[in-house]
Amino acid sequence: MEGGGIRIEGLHKRYGKGETAVDALKQVDMRVAPGEVVGLIGPSGSGKSTLLKCLGAVIEPTAGRMILGNEVIYDNGWKITDLRALRRDKIGFVFQAPYLIPFLDVTDNVALLPMLAGVPNDVARTKAMALLQALDIQHRAQAMPSELSGGEQQRVAIARGLINRPPVILADEPTAPLDSERALAVVRILNDMARQFETAIVVVTHDEKIIPTFKRIYHIRDGITHEEIGEGREFD
């Protein structure tokens, strides 16, 4: 675990001020090693999305420490200035709704980030194609997002999250709209990607079907995390 992955210590997040303040995160401690996929589960309102947003540098925590790779990104205050560049270079996002860009085809949705960063279009597309192949959706490479099924969209969204080979992937309910077979396929892909690219992956889920696949699980209740050993069931 030295030199990589995610480390969170004593993270705290309060929404609002005064009477209406909500302590969504009270005491969050978490470690995810490179190549590891951990589950984050908890009842509604327990702070799962809030944690993911803090980790994804989308909202600012109130206190604590967050380390991505070897870099302290938060220590009672942001330690880096360009959060958007951090998100672009270090973090892949996968959401419940895939939110693909409707006017770009599958390949360009995946290749978008490197293309915007100035990588030649054909190089970026070749890279995207390789990922689509790994996710077994290369046959839909020219399709528009509106022409894809929910599961296909989710796989494209995963490919998009992986294109920059981020050391961290944050997934919020990635299997919610999928049936159990597809849901397991998505989790398998995430596990493969973690192994292949040494990515630390956090999967927020309610989904009973996929919970048994995690080797380690963080339970969060009222903003406090508890680590558990998962079943770590293998895929067939």
Partner 1 sequence: MISLAGRDILHAWGKFIFTGIGLGLLIGVTLTMAGVYRGMVDDGKVLLDNSGADLWVVQKNTLGPYAESSSLYDDSYRGILALPGVAQAANVTYLTMQIRQGENDVRAMVVGIAPGGAGIPGWPPYLVAGRQITRSHYEAVADMATGFKLDDRIQIRRNDYTVVGLTRRMVSSSGDPMVFIPLKDAQEAQFLKDNDAILQNRRRIAENPAFNRPAIPDLLDTVITSQSSNPYVNAVLVRLKPGYAADEVVEVIQRWKRLTAYTRSQMEDILIGKLIATSAQQIGMFLVILAVVSAAIIAFIIYTLTLGKIREIAVLKLIGTKNRTIAGMIMQEALGLGVIGFVVGKISATFWALIFPKYVLLELRDAFSGFIVLMIICVLASIIAIHAALKVDPAEAIGG
Ligand X SMILES: Nc1ncnc2c1ncn2[C@@H]1O[C@H](COP(=O)(O)OP(=O)(O)OP(=O)(O)O)[C@@H](O)[C@H]1O
Contacts with ligand X by CB under 6 A: the residue count is: 12
- Counting every residue written for the chain, the total comes to 236
Count the neighbouring beta carbons within 10 Å of the beta carbon of residue 161.
27
Based on the shown chain and the rule CB under 8 A, indicate whether residue 127 belongs to the binding site for partner 1: no
CB of 235 to partner 1, least distance (A): 27
22 interacts with partner 1 by CB under 8 A: no
Q: Residue 48, interface with ligand X (CB under 6 A)?
A: yes
Assess 128 for contact with partner 1 (CB under 8 A): no
Q: Could you give the C-alpha distances from 123 to 171, 175, 197, in angstroms and in order?
A: 27, 30, 19
User: Would you say 175 and 187 are in contact if contact means Cβ atoms under 8 Å apart?
Assistant: yes
Cβ burial 201-228 (10 Å sphere, 16+ → b, else e):
bbbbbebebbbebbebbbebeebbbeee
Tell me whether residue 59 or residue 211 sits nearer to partner 1 (CB atom): 59
Rounded CA-CA distance 8/196 in Å is 24
Locus of tokens 């296909």: 152
* Candidate segments 48-56, 128-136, 137-145, 153-161, binder of Mg ion by CB under 5 A: 48-56
Q: Does residue 49 touch partner 1 according to CB under 8 A? A: yes
Which of 49, 107, 109, 199 lies at the binding interface for ligand X (CB under 6 A)?
A: 49
Counting contacts by CB under 6 A, is residue 47 touching ligand X? yes
Q: List the single partner that 1 binds among Mg ion, ligand X, partner 1, none, CB under 5 to 8 Å by kind.
A: none
Q: How far apart, in whole angstroms, are the C-alpha atoms of residue 234 and residue 191?
A: 10
Q: Which residues does 212 contact at the CB level (< 8 Å), separation at least 6?
A: 230, 231, 233
50 in contact with Mg ion (CB under 5 A): no
- C-alpha 231/C-alpha 211 separation (Å) is 8
Among 49, 109, 175, 225, binds Mg ion (CB under 5 A): 49
Least CB distance to Mg ion at residue 42 (A): 9
The alpha helices in the chain, defined as continuous H runs, are 48-55, 83-90, 106-116, 121-134, 150-162, 180-197
Q: Report what 167 binds from Mg ion, partner 1, ligand X, none; CB cut-off 5-8 Å by kind.
A: none
- Nearest distance from residue 161's CB to partner 1, in Å? 8
Nearest distance in Å: CB 48, Mg ion: 5
**Contact footprint for Mg ion (CB under 5 A):** 49
**Contact footprint for ligand X (CB under 6 A):** 15-16, 22, 24, 42, 44-50
**Contact footprint for partner 1 (CB under 8 A):** 49, 52-53, 56, 58-59, 84-89, 93, 95-97, 99, 101-104, 108, 111-113, 115-116, 118, 121, 144, 160-161, 172
